[in-house]
Amino acid sequence: MNVVVLSGAGISAESGISTFRDSDGLWEKYRIEDVATPEAWYRDPALVLDFYDQRREQVRAAASNAAHMALARLQDVAMVQIVTQNIDDLHERAGSRHVLHLHGEIVLARSTVPPYETYPAGGNIALGDLCPRGAQLRPHVVWFGEEVPMLERAARIVQKADVLLVVGTSLQVYPAAGLVQYAPKGCKIIVIDPNAPHISGMDVVTIKEKAGVALPRLVEEWMGHKL
């Protein structure tokens, strides 16, 4: 059984990491164009670095929650591949082995010159922190308006799903949101989100609950039935 998980900010909400679009979400406090676009980086790199330093500190202080851990347990009985829009590492810290980050990883820094090598981001990233080729480092995060290099790999993963779990994403950020459409015929699609988005033209089971409640229950049920 091939289970593919498409996760978004909502799966980490119960770990205390702010989502983007809920009422107390990040974008209530920041404007996308000030901190998460290439233009913002050219205009005020110090502000952008500071924004992501705060995100990194928040992630470091957080712990995986019951939803991340349930997905890690599911690996005992199924092939589980996670395609996440999240830049945190809470799936990995819970023990998930196959995690593809569509929008980058906050624990890594990236060079600003090709081939855009990544490096562990020890503490904060400061102006003047350079890669070995002498270029400024930036967060390894895909900003709005930038290409999503992992998209094709993610689409190929979704195309092989027997079950697609869509967890904690408003499905408003494209191209990530379009990945659901790659689910093959016969794939069972389950959406877990208290404010589950509508997915048009597809047969979907919706569970309007928090991921930390619904996922452990679903995984226990499946493990009882040995997928």
Which CB atom, from 131 or from 196, has the smaller least distance to ligand NAD?
Answer: 196
Residue 139 touching ligand NAD (CB under 6 A): no
Catalytic residue among 68, 91, 103, 140: 103
Which CB atom, from 17 or from 131, has the smaller least distance to ligand NAD?
Answer: 17
Position among 3, 4, 5, 17 found at the interface with ligand NAD (CB under 6 A): 17
Query: Among residue numbers 28 through 87, which ones bind ligand NAD (CB under 6 A)?
Result: 85-87
Q: What is the 3-state secondary structure (H, E, C) of 103-128?
A: CEEEEEEEECCCCCCEEECCCCCCCC
Q: DSSP label at 130? A: B
Strand partners, 161: none
Of the ranges 46-54, 118-126, 128-136, 170-178, which one interacts with ligand NAD (CB under 6 A)? 170-178
Token look-up 């047969």 returns 203
- Nearest-10 Cα torsion for 182, 72, 173, 15: 160
In the bound complex, what is the minimum distance in angstroms from residue 5's beta carbon to ligand NAD? 12
Strand partners, 204: 189
How far apart are alpha carbons 12 and 48 in whole angstroms? 22
User: How many C-beta atoms surround the C-beta of residue 188 within 10 A?
Assistant: 14
Position among 16, 113, 149, 195 found at the interface with ligand NAD (CB under 6 A): 195
- Cite the beta strand spans of 12-135 per DSSP E: 79-84, 99-101, 104-111, 118-120
Which CB atom, from 86 or from 111, has the smaller least distance to ligand NAD?
Answer: 86
Position among 19, 81, 111, 136 found at the interface with ligand NAD (CB under 6 A): 19
DSSP-based three-state secondary structure for 148: coil
Q: Answer yes or no: 98 catalytic.
A: no
Which CB atom, from 18 or from 75, has the smaller least distance to ligand NAD?
Answer: 18
State the maximum Cα–Cα separation within the chain, in Å, rounded to a whole number.
55
Position among 3, 4, 6, 14 found at the interface with ligand NAD (CB under 6 A): 14
Strand 163-167 to 2-7 pairing: parallel
Query: Among residue numbers 88 through 107, which ones bind ligand NAD (CB under 6 A)?
Result: 88, 103
Binding site residues, ligand NAD, CB under 6 A = 8-10, 12-14, 17-22, 25-26, 85-88, 103, 168-170, 172-173, 192-195, 210-212
Catalytic residues: 103
